[in-house]
Amino acid sequence: MSDLKRTQLYGVHVAAGATMVDFGGWEMPIKYPTDIVAEHLYTRHACSLFDVSHMGRILVEGPETVPFLQHVLSSNVMALDLNQAQYAIIPNENGGAVDDAYLYRFEEDRYLLVVNAANTDKDLEHLREQIKSYDAKMTVITGDWAAIAVQGPRAKDILQVLSGGQAVTEPVKNALNTLRFEGRTVRVAKTGYTGEPIGYEVYIESAEAAWLWNRLIELGAKPAGLGARDTCRLEACLPLYGHEMGTDPEGKEIPVFAVPLAKFAVSFSPQKGDFIGREALAKQYEVFRRIMNRDFSDLTDLPRRILPITLLDKGVMRAGMPVYKGDKRIGYVTSGTMVPYYRHEGEGLGTVILEETAKRSIGLAILDSDTLEDDQVQIDVRGRRLKAVIPPYHMRVDAPPFARPILYRPVEEDAAPASGDRKPKALDLIGRAVENHVWRQEKCVNLIPSEMTPSRAVRLLCASDPSFRYAEHKKVKSFYDADVFYYQGTEFIDEVERLLVEEMKAFMGCAEVETRCVSGQMSNTCVFSALMDWKNRLNRKQDPRRLGYIMNNHIIKGGHLSAQPMGALHDYIAIDPVTERHALVNFPVLKDNIYKIDVEETKKAIDRYRPEFIIFGKSMVLHREPVAAIREYVDEMGLETTIMYDMAHVLGLTGDHFQKPFQEGAEIVTGSTHKTFFGPQRGIVGVNYKKGELKYGLWETIESRAFPGSVSNHHLGTQLGLLMAAYEMNQFKDAYQAAVVSNAKSFARSLKAAGLDVAGDPAIDYTETHQVIVNVGYGTGPEVAMRLERNNIICNYQATPEEEGFTASGALRMGVNEMTRFGFGPAGFDRLAQIMADCILRGKEVREDVEALRAGYTEMRYCFGEDDVVSALNDLAKKSGI
């Protein structure tokens, strides 16, 4: 094997006893003595190292780098921000693939293109021909920098030891970072070829490669060879050049759009312009679109597609085996083998990964494009026709930190419709509701920061008559903006709504309030819809333009779901034609306090993106939002930006003890009435636009997007209850708000003293709101939260700004608001902190301690409890029969 090239880590592999093979001209480890099955499994449950230094690494730089890359790659290079990577195809003129590649932007002006080892020479020849027309140059750095893939659920913990605790990258796929590992410079990418949700590729100078490899092994990673790399990528349905790209088993070129990843890797943006293969790819895309709509009438440009395939009979499928549907040969297996997995048991979040393993024969196949998911097919396994099926996928990674194998489940038949005598069911339902009420209200300590138990007065009013009624109303200009109601019998609720508006204006400190939205999310939808309508008011003859740029808090930095494109912004946010992504920019956060907006960096982002809309507010919130500073900056810049604060969580803290957004310059505030506020579950919109101002028209639009835009019946019972809650809040807010903030600080200190890892800035006692965040260990949040629930402490697990998503959560989010209302003070929270530390740190069962603690706090504070009020409520209960 003397002609073969060797990577910087060749000696390490040989010393570890690896079986070395020729792979694309490189002498590479196919497996170590542990063997492929164990290496695959170790990747999935812990962390494996793969030497990927054989991959071709080409540095591209020069004034025309971007136009050159736009021309030779399928992807939109303009969409690639600094410290991001993207997957791309190097297409040929026919719409086939010269290779597939990953493009990294570690530096502002230099791009790193990583290609398949076996294709490097061919790729370079192709690229050198193309680069002649551009003022740009390529340098092959394959020998200068080694590359080690660190893949598996423990990868992040291991790398963070080397970084001294610093976050390795942002916790999102394709994020990049340059940092130091124990004094050595490394470039880290959150990328990989195993499908692992927690996977990195680390680039380091060749001389340090062996050091890094050995250090990673000391920290618990194990080496894995190309064999396990192949089974992992197959399980993840990732294409391999030469199998799913290039030519098929019949020798025909595989169209790029045959690979499912193509739809992410190919851009037809006008900004990208013409590029190699564009015309052929556009034709394939047209067919692809028709196929997705199940129109199989003309498949000429995309006759076959790569789909996952699972063997149902016993056996092993291999590349090249023909696939049949009935008597018709519909294609071939392109990759196939037997892949191991850990068995699991339980449902949903309670799913437990067992130590027991099993194997399944899975693969990828290139099949006629009219093949559908769940189709029953057969594979010719050396003369035997074995049963197989087309599954939707082999694995999912949307519950990190683990990649979860998905075993094929046949389509289930519908269960029989419910039937029988309903009376026993009715009785059972009532009994269980009593049980639940007593448990939640008397036995549990509730720390969910978005919840509040309303007073008896609020609850009774919510259930009394205006509930179940309609009271649609709209202002009519002909009657000098008088509200006209469409139904009779609404005099009382009309008055209630007017009183509620006045109370909320007084509380929020603004000019106008809309109270008909029945949730905080609806309030946001209503505002976003109104803003878009307002933007397009002068031209109704074309499709309305969406909003953009919008600045918000990123969801993983604590931003509200309802202020994200996946939430209430969904139908209102534009796509930036240059990046082909949502026209969204996130508030930068401080490096040393990721819970706080970095005002100076935010100003730079405002300069760059000139957002037309800024949304403050978070659901994981420890700090005041810098409304005044940003208002000042926006005004100084003369921008037409609308500033909104979604106060969902902190609405009830509006005032001297937290912040007053309207005084600071917010124009719109939305909120939920049932988190720190005392109400039933509804939403609210307040604005500070006054009659005669230009933007008063926006306010009127918001009203019309509430009704008829969002609600027809606006839950009149809870609107009545909310008026009582507003009376309570305006009467008691000073004492309540002071107690909430000081209790939160006190609780945080007690938790810290009890040995728990409290997030936030100790200098301000960790929090300025009702929330306290405790880190319990990466990925353990769900388990700890469930353990606390068994012990009658109700809180919610939360992904911190460094974590990938809710299943990887390592924190608990707690609010002191509800318990403060039940009279908890520093002593109560200190006792609670001790009990929680016993349960979290020492695994102690604490249910009885919790019940005893809760029993001392049963009377609701900050509401009207005088004798005459109680007697009036008794009268209401009696006469309403509640």
Partner 1 sequence: MNFPAELKYTKDHEWFKDLGNDTALVGITDFAQSELGDLVFINLPQVGDEVIADESFCDVESVKAVSDVMSPCTGVIEEVNTELEDEPQLLNEDPYGAWIARIRDISACGELMSADEYEAFVQK
Binding site for partner 1 (CB under 8 A): 19, 30-31, 35-38, 227, 231, 314-316, 318, 337-340, 359, 361, 382
d(CA 785, CA 813): 10
Q: Are 716 and 680 in contact (CB under 8 A)?
A: no
Cβ of residue 393: shortest distance to partner 1, in angstroms?
21
Per the structure block, which two tokens stand in for 169?
A: 């990258």
Nearest approach, Cβ of residue 194 and partner 1 (Å): 15
User: Residue 857: how many CB atoms within 10 A of its CB?
Assistant: 17
Nearer to partner 1, 228 or 245 (CB): 228
With respect to partner 1, which residue has the nearer C-beta, 234 or 551?
234
Bridging pattern class, strands 56-61 and 111-115: antiparallel
Q: How far apart are CB 388 and partner 1 at their closest, in Å? A: 15
Q: How far is the CB of 705 from partner 1 (least distance, A)?
A: 59
For 273: left if phi > 0, alpha if psi spans -120 to 50, otherwise beta; the answer is left
Which residue, 337 or 820, has its beta carbon nearer to partner 1? 337
Closer by beta carbon to partner 1, 83 or else 361 = 361
Least distance (Å) between residue 153 CB and partner 1: 22
Task: Pick between residue 317 and residue 836 the one whose CB is nearest to partner 1.
Answer: 317
Shortest separation between residue 335's beta carbon and partner 1, angstroms: 12
Residue 479, C-beta contacts closer than 8 angstroms, at least 6 positions apart: none
Is there a contact between 389 and 312 (Cβ–Cβ < 8 Å)?
yes
How far apart CA 597 and CA 550 sit, in angstroms, is 16
Nearer to partner 1, 98 or 321 (CB): 321
Euclidean distance between CA atoms 623 and 41, whole angstroms: 43
Distances (CA, A) of 391 to 231, 332, 413, 856: 17, 16, 17, 56
Cβ 570 vs Cβ 546: under 8 Å: no
| Helix (H) / strand (E) containing 61 | strand 56-61
Q: State how far the Cα of 567 lies from the Cα of 268, in Å rounded to an integer.
A: 27
Token pair for residue 80? 């690639």
| Cβ distance to partner 1 smaller for residue 114 or 395 | 395
| Other CB atoms within 10 Å distance of the CB of residue 263 | 12
- Grouping H, G, I as helix, E, B as strand and the rest as coil, residue 87 is strand
As a whole number of angstroms, the distance between CA 623 and CA 596 comes to: 6
CB of 342: closest distance to partner 1 in angstroms?
A: 15
Q: Which is nearer to partner 1, 227 or 277 (CB)?
A: 227
In whole angstroms, the minimum distance from the beta carbon of 35 to partner 1 comes to 5
Count the neighbouring beta carbons within 10 Å of the beta carbon of residue 441: 13
Quote the least distance from Cβ 48 to partner 1, whole Å.
15
CB of 311 to partner 1, least distance (A): 10
- Which of 773, 760, 401 has its CA nearest to residue 589? 760
Is the Cβ of residue 1 or residue 763 nearer to partner 1 in the bound state?
A: 1
CB of 21 to partner 1, least distance (A): 10
Preceding amide of 549 cis, omega within 30: yes
For residues 525-549, one letter each, b for 16 or more C-beta atoms within 10 angstroms of the residue's C-beta and e for the rest, the string is bbbbbbbbbbbeeeeeeeeeebbbb
Closer residue to partner 1, CB minimum distance, 359 or 432: 359
The residue among 199 and 227 lying less far from partner 1, judged by its C-beta, is 227
